[in-house]
Amino acid sequence: MALAIVLVLLVVGSVLFHYLSPWYFTPIASNWDSIDETVTITFWVTGFVFVVVNLFMAYCVLRYRYRKGKLAHYEPENKKLELALILATTVGVVAMLAPGLFAWAKFIEVPKDATVFEVVARQWNFNYRFPGKDGVLGTVDAKYVSDENPFGINPDDPSGQDDVLIASPELHLPLGKPVKLELRSIDVLHDFTVPQFRAKMNMVPGLVTYVWFRPTRTGTFDSFCEQLCGIAHFAMRGKVAVEEESAFQAWLSSYPTYAQSKARVAGDAAAGKALFAVCTACQGAQAEGNPSLNAPKLSGQAPWYLKRQLKNFKDGARGTHEKDVFGKMMAPMAATLTDEAAIDNVVAYIRTLPDNPAPTTVNGNAKNGQDPYVTCAACHGAGGQGIQATNAPRLKGMSDWYMVTQLKNFQHGVRGTNPHDPYGRQMTSMAAILVDDQATSDLVAYIDTLR
Amino acid sequence: MTSITHDESAYVPPAEVEEPELYHPKSFVGKYIWSQDAKVIAVQYAITAIGVGLVALVLSGIMRLQLGFPHAFSFINPSNYLQFVTMHGMIMVIYLLTALFLGGFGNYLIPLMVGARDMVFPYVNMVSYWVYLFAVLLLMASFFVPGGPTGSGWTLYPPQAILPGTPGANWGIVLMLVSLAFFIIGFTMGGLNYVVTVLQARTRGMTMMRLPLTVWGIFMATILALLAFPALFVSAIMMTLDQTLGTSFFMPALVSQGQHLNYNGGSPILFQHLFWFFGHPEVYIVALPAFGIVSDLIAVHARKNIFGYRMMVWAILAIGGLSFVVWAHHMYVSGMNPYFGFFFATTTLIIAIPTALKVYNWVLTLWRGNIHLTVPMLFAIGFVFTFINGGLTGLFLGNVPVDIPLSGTMFVVAHFHMVMAVSPVLVVFGAIYHWYPKITGRMLNDTLGKFHFWVTFLGTYAIYYPMHYLGFLGVPRRYYAMGTTVFVPESAQSLNEAITIAALIVGAIQVVFLYNLIWSYFKGKPAGPNPWRATTLEWQTPHTPPKHGNFGATLPAVYRWAYDYSVPGAAEDFIPQNQPPGKKAKGLEQALDASDLGAQKLDGAGTPKPIGS
């Protein structure tokens, strides 16, 4: 009796949950309505079977429960009934499969007028490459991949010279135009998906895979990696902004071509020395940092990282949060660097300064910090030396008190929440693994041992 | 009444071969440690599998803590979270379910149910267990090596499985691969035994179409495993070579964290094809024994023949055959040639038809039955309900365009737990409640059993049903933390908390089951030889628990199918398979006169004579 009632309640509850719960598909933002329609058909067919078979079972449990002295009906088989059930099931299967196969045929057939561009995945970020004026993506090969050429573009291929390189996880797309994404991975398996687009495909090193869709409404969406790709898999995310064509073109033209990025002249340290004079007040003459003025050590830090942060401060991607007191002080300083060349110059100068390890100031139990550092090591390296390929700055020998401050800033959303700071966003996911201030101190104390 | 399956015409040919002499050990060690008795080996398999399964259960609890209460526990970090995920999955699928169904239930039930004295190769059978145990120990050792166990997900996809950035890429993955290789070697020894025993050692009169469906399920699953595991075996060897010797079977030219590695020309997708060529049949390696066992549980406890026995057998064969041509439905988004999608979606949805037929026949067995809601029956019905849900969501993932938005999300996790974790485990529980009396001679406690059922059945549904909807929302699987997104509402986190609480309750309640197993062994109600009044041969043994050799002096002869329940005109509502025609079925009191049932003499034919005598 109880079992029959429970079965009925489970059926009713499941159906109610389906209709009443707030968790379901996000509103679609692409042309793949046919996928959603197939899902709806599948729900009707499977829902019908779920309800009917289970209610019938509940009925049987109730109606044919044990009664003393009663015999069960003896009927080994009933071919007609079984055949009828097979036929009905076949009809249901065809009803789901047929629209599914039609939807799939459209899914894999890219329209001729689709705009082609490339998504490149690496642990643990997405980058993008658009063909330049020639409309052709230059050839690539893993052997060309380096910190200076992260996309692995063939330097001798003329069609690659005008490719526009988006070294950022944020992608913009024009509204209403079909796009074909050619998907590529530098290292391991990855995946590119935006839940609202319904489309998704893995990236496989050694192969180029593809997926296509047409964005049907404007907005900013989260993109994800949904193929396990290592420790920071859960933090491998990007943004996709769908906008009008003109805004898209403006965004695209703000990025350099491959030729331009190659031609970037190295910074002029002599010119940078003059610019750095302003910085010495806080950072010290040797850029050794000054805890009492909240200025971290800069000497020895990777140039690409210094450039990124100076740009972040200058462009308002950092140092704008109201609780980021010292970041807000830094922002106007960075603003004195008038252009990218100035940034290059000052960074070039910092590079010439002697790299002495910063003094240890943090009290923590380094032993307890060793375990959580495994996570940090995935990007920053086991020795804390920093890895450009994973966008992770050097930690060892840098100002430890500054790391504590920044980890707390990441934890409390003071840093890394600005939409234009995608790598900072990744750090917010990571800093969250430190459950309290003690854990943060312990971790940094461990980093202090990496010398 | 037209079916031949329950025909009473006594087709009982004379024995073809002389009975083998069994080695009867004298010492405790020979009987219970280095045992060649399939029943003891079965218990060894079961205890080891359940023990390692408990480890995996604890790991799942830790994962749920992280998902329900992210960042509340300092001992869970993104690195060991992946290690927990990986070990949980691999242990549950291979080292628990496969080992328990085939090594555990297969060993115990096949010889007894087909009327054999033991497996045909008892020594190999013994070695099979010890190799399995060695594989388990190797796997457990990976918790203690530098870097810990592999965290590459239970699918072990290269390249990441053997590259830095994935936990356990040095020691852990190699131990995992070598352990799998040993598991497969051990399984092959056991598996050949099960197949040959079913084919060659059935007692007189036990035609294939008189086999209980339990035997059919385990038999077919073993054949699948023998054909599928080699694919995993070679991929394990190949990946081990990639990792240790630097070959490039699965490794293309790549740049890992800024370092150019010395690999070139390999294919990560090749591994996926090999893995799923094993991996999909693996689903049925776990499911088919469950299908078979649950058929028998339902028939016995509903006092009714299984509905459509022959169709059930054909369905098992059809599912087994089809399971080898559906594997790439795990790879719709892998980047393989997209045209494969048409083929694999079609074959996958076709497999739904024989599977659905099985569900119909279970329910139709209940229909017009005389249903005893014993604990095994509760678990059987719980299985049918859970399996219907899990099977139907398979139609979402099998249909290629529907799979696209759902693959890689929590929907997949919910689906496969429902269909190949909870469903088979419910059958395992039902089967243990059902056969424990035969194994130990004592009944399990009924009240504890019912409590165990209700919490497990309702709890697992509360865990996995809502989880599908997180998948629709787009919450990815294998994510240490969801963090902030623009589309996942706060309420999804509340749902995750609720799921975690349900999971912890279900996990904790298994202690009641373990307690019941141990308590009943000493204090349970004596069971007698045939407490469920079942027809199959294991209940007709002269001794309970059966002794080495199973059937006393003479092997039983079989006169009928396994499902003569509630036969009109019969004295009792069951007729044992070894009951000769003409005689009315005996009541339970008489059945206790074991020598009569166990050493069934042939009417007229006399004792079987070996060939050549």
pLDDT digit string (tens) for B374-391?
A: 999 999 999 999 999 999
The larger pLDDT score, comparing residue B222 to residue A266, is at: B222
Count CB pairs under 8 A between chains A and B: 375
- H or E element at residue A182: strand A179-185
Distance (Å) from the C-alpha of residue B182 to the closest C-alpha of chain A?
26
Residue B11: predicted pLDDT = 62
Other CB atoms within 10 A of residue A140 CB? 22
Residue of B nearest to A378 (CA): B165
Distance (Å) from the C-alpha of residue A280 to the closest C-alpha of chain B?
33
Give yes or no for a contact between B117 and B203, defined as CB atoms under 8 angstroms apart.
no
Residue range(s) occupied by CATH 2.60.40.420 in chain A: 115-263
Which tens digit of pLDDT belongs to each residue from A19-65?
Answer: 999 999 999 999 999 999 999 999 999 999 999 999 999 999 999 99
Determine whether A135 is exposed, middle or buried from the number of CB atoms within 10 Å of its CB (0-12, 13-18, 19+).
exposed
The larger pLDDT score, comparing residue A165 to residue B1, is at: A165
Residue A36: predicted pLDDT = 95
C-alpha B497/C-alpha B507 separation (Å) is 15
- Residue B574 bridge partners (DSSP): B565
CB within 8 Å of chain A, chain B residues 67-96: 70-75, 77-80, 82
Whether B258 sits inside 8 A of A14 (CB atoms) is no
**End-to-end distance of chain B based on CA atoms, in angstroms?**
40
Which tens digit of pLDDT belongs to each residue from B329-361?
Answer: 999 999 999 999 999 999 999 999 999 999 999
CA triple B327-B152-B172, angle to 5 deg? 120
Whether A142 sits inside 8 A of B346 (CB atoms) is no
pLDDT higher than threshold 80 for residue A264: no
Residue among A140, A211, A433 with most chain B CBs within 10 A, to mutate: A433
Whether B458 sits inside 8 A of A6 (CB atoms) is yes
Give the amino acid at B296.
D
pLDDT higher than threshold 60 for residue B591: no
DSSP state of A27: P
Whether B268 sits inside 8 A of A205 (CB atoms) is yes
Q: Is CATH 1.10.760.10 the right assignment for the domain spanning A269-448?
A: yes
pLDDT higher than threshold 70 for residue B606: no
Distances (CA, A) of A65 to A62, B366, B367, B377: 6, 9, 10, 11
- H or E element at residue B439: helix B423-440
pLDDT higher than threshold 80 for residue B584: no
Long-range contacts of B394-397, Cβ-Cβ distance < 8 Å, separation of 24 or more = B394/B348, B394/B352, B394/B419, B395/A42, B395/A45, B395/A46, B395/A93, B395/A96, B395/B349, B395/B352, B396/A39, B396/A42, B396/A46, B397/B329
Cis peptide before B159 (omega within 30 of 0): yes
CB contacts of A234 in chain B (<8 Å) are: 78, 476, 478-483
Looking at chain A, how many residues does it have?
A: 451
Residue corresponding to tokens 């910090």: A369
* Residue of B368, B400, B479 with shortest CB distance to A64: B368
Distance (Å) from the C-alpha of residue A210 to the closest C-alpha of chain B?
8
3-state secondary structure of A215: strand
Distance (Å) from the C-alpha of residue B478 to the closest C-alpha of chain A?
7
3-state secondary structure of B262: coil
Contact partners, residue A79, CB within 8 Å, separation at least 6 = none
Whether B342 sits inside 8 A of A432 (CB atoms) is no
Whether B402 sits inside 8 A of A35 (CB atoms) is yes
Long-range contacts of A130-139, Cβ-Cβ distance < 8 Å, separation of 24 or more = A130/A163, A130/A164, A130/A166, A130/A252, A131/A159, A131/A162, A131/A163, A131/A164, A132/A161, A132/A162, A132/A163, A132/A164, A132/A257, A133/A162, A134/A159, A134/A162, A137/A163, A137/A182, A138/A163, A138/A258
ipTM here: 0.91
Q: Which residues of B533-547 are buried (b: 16+ CB within 10 A; e: fewer)?
A: bbbbbbbbbbebebe
3-state helix, strand, coil in chain A (%, to 5): 45, 15, 40
C-alpha A374/C-alpha A427 separation (Å) is 15
Residue among B67, B73, B74, B563 with most chain A CBs within 10 A, to mutate: B74
Residue B81: predicted pLDDT = 95
Q: Give the residue among B16, B8, B12 at the shortest CA–CA distance from B613.
A: B16
Q: Is CATH 2.60.40.420 the right assignment for the domain spanning A115-263?
A: yes
Residue A332: predicted pLDDT = 86
Q: What average pLDDT does the structure give for chain A?
A: 93
pLDDT higher than threshold 80 for residue A94: yes
C-alpha B165/C-alpha A231 separation (Å) is 6
Residue B377: predicted pLDDT = 97
Average pLDDT over residues B500-505: 97
C-alpha A295/C-alpha A318 separation (Å) is 15
Residue B416: predicted pLDDT = 96
Whether B408 sits inside 8 A of A227 (CB atoms) is yes
Partner A contacted by B260 (CB < 8 A) = yes
- H or E element at residue B415: helix B410-417
Q: What average pLDDT does the structure give for chain B?
A: 91
3-state helix, strand, coil in chain B (%, to 5): 65, 0, 35
Alpha carbons within 13 angstroms on the beta-carbon side of residue A101 total 15
Partner A contacted by B464 (CB < 8 A) = no
pLDDT higher than threshold 50 for residue B609: no
Residue B597: predicted pLDDT = 38
Residue B9: predicted pLDDT = 52
Residue B10: predicted pLDDT = 54
Whether B359 sits inside 8 A of A50 (CB atoms) is no
Minimum mean pLDDT among A9-13, A279-283, B42-46: which range?
A279-283
Distance (Å) from the C-alpha of residue A388 to the closest C-alpha of chain B?
7
CB contacts of B377 in chain A (<8 Å) are: none
Q: Give the residue among A393, A397, A401 at the shortest CA–CA distance from A354.
A: A397
pLDDT higher than threshold 70 for residue B421: yes
C-alpha A334/C-alpha A316 separation (Å) is 10
C-alpha B196/C-alpha B202 separation (Å) is 10
Whether B486 sits inside 8 A of A435 (CB atoms) is no
pLDDT higher than threshold 50 for residue B603: no
For residue A283, give both structure tokens. 């950072």
CB contacts of A45 in chain B (<8 Å) are: 395
Residue B587: predicted pLDDT = 42
Residue of A nearest to B344 (CA): A101
Give the amino acid at A185.
S
Looking at chain B, how many residues does it have?
A: 613
Which tens digit of pLDDT belongs to each residue from B236-294?
Answer: 999 999 999 999 999 999 999 889 999 999 999 999 999 999 999 999 999 999 999 99
Whether A72 sits inside 8 A of B465 (CB atoms) is no
Give yes or no for a contact between A206 and B267, defined as CB atoms under 8 angstroms apart.
yes
Distance (Å) from the C-alpha of residue B549 to the closest C-alpha of chain A?
33
Strands B255-256 and A179-185: unpaired
CB contacts of A98 in chain B (<8 Å) are: none
Q: Give the residue among B184, B186, B41 at the shortest CA–CA distance from B119.
A: B41
Minimum mean pLDDT among A176-180, A421-425, B146-150: which range?
A421-425
Determine whether B587 is exposed, middle or buried from the number of CB atoms within 10 Å of its CB (0-12, 13-18, 19+).
exposed
pLDDT higher than threshold 80 for residue A395: yes
Give the amino acid at A182.
E
Which tens digit of pLDDT belongs to each residue from B508-541?
Answer: 999 999 999 999 999 999 999 999 999 999 999 9
CB contacts of A23 in chain B (<8 Å) are: 466, 469-470, 472-473, 489, 491-492, 495
CB contacts of A432 in chain B (<8 Å) are: 70-71, 481, 483
C-alpha B451/C-alpha B448 separation (Å) is 5
Q: Give the residue among B565, B598, B581 at the shortest CA–CA distance from B115.
A: B598
Whether A57 sits inside 8 A of B381 (CB atoms) is yes
Whether A375 sits inside 8 A of B466 (CB atoms) is no
pLDDT bin (cut points 50, 70, 90) of residue B392 is: very high
pTM: 0.92
CB within 8 Å of chain A, chain B residues 41-70: 70
For residue B585, give both structure tokens. 């079925």
Strands A237-243 and A170-174: parallel
Minimum mean pLDDT among A191-200, A255-264, B536-545: which range?
A255-264
Contact partners, residue B326, CB within 8 Å, separation at least 6 = B280, B344, B347, B348, B351, B398
Residue range(s) occupied by CATH 1.10.760.10 in chain A: 269-448
Average pLDDT over residues B451-465: 97
Residue B177: predicted pLDDT = 97
- Residue A174 bridge partners (DSSP): A243
3-state secondary structure of A129: strand
C-alpha A116/C-alpha A126 separation (Å) is 16
Partner A contacted by B146 (CB < 8 A) = no
Partner A contacted by B372 (CB < 8 A) = yes
Cis peptide before B545 (omega within 30 of 0): yes
* Residue of A64, A229, A387 with shortest CB distance to B258: A387
Other CB atoms within 10 A of residue B583 CB? 11
* Residue of B310, B338, B461 with shortest CB distance to A108: B338
C-alpha B280/C-alpha B43 separation (Å) is 28
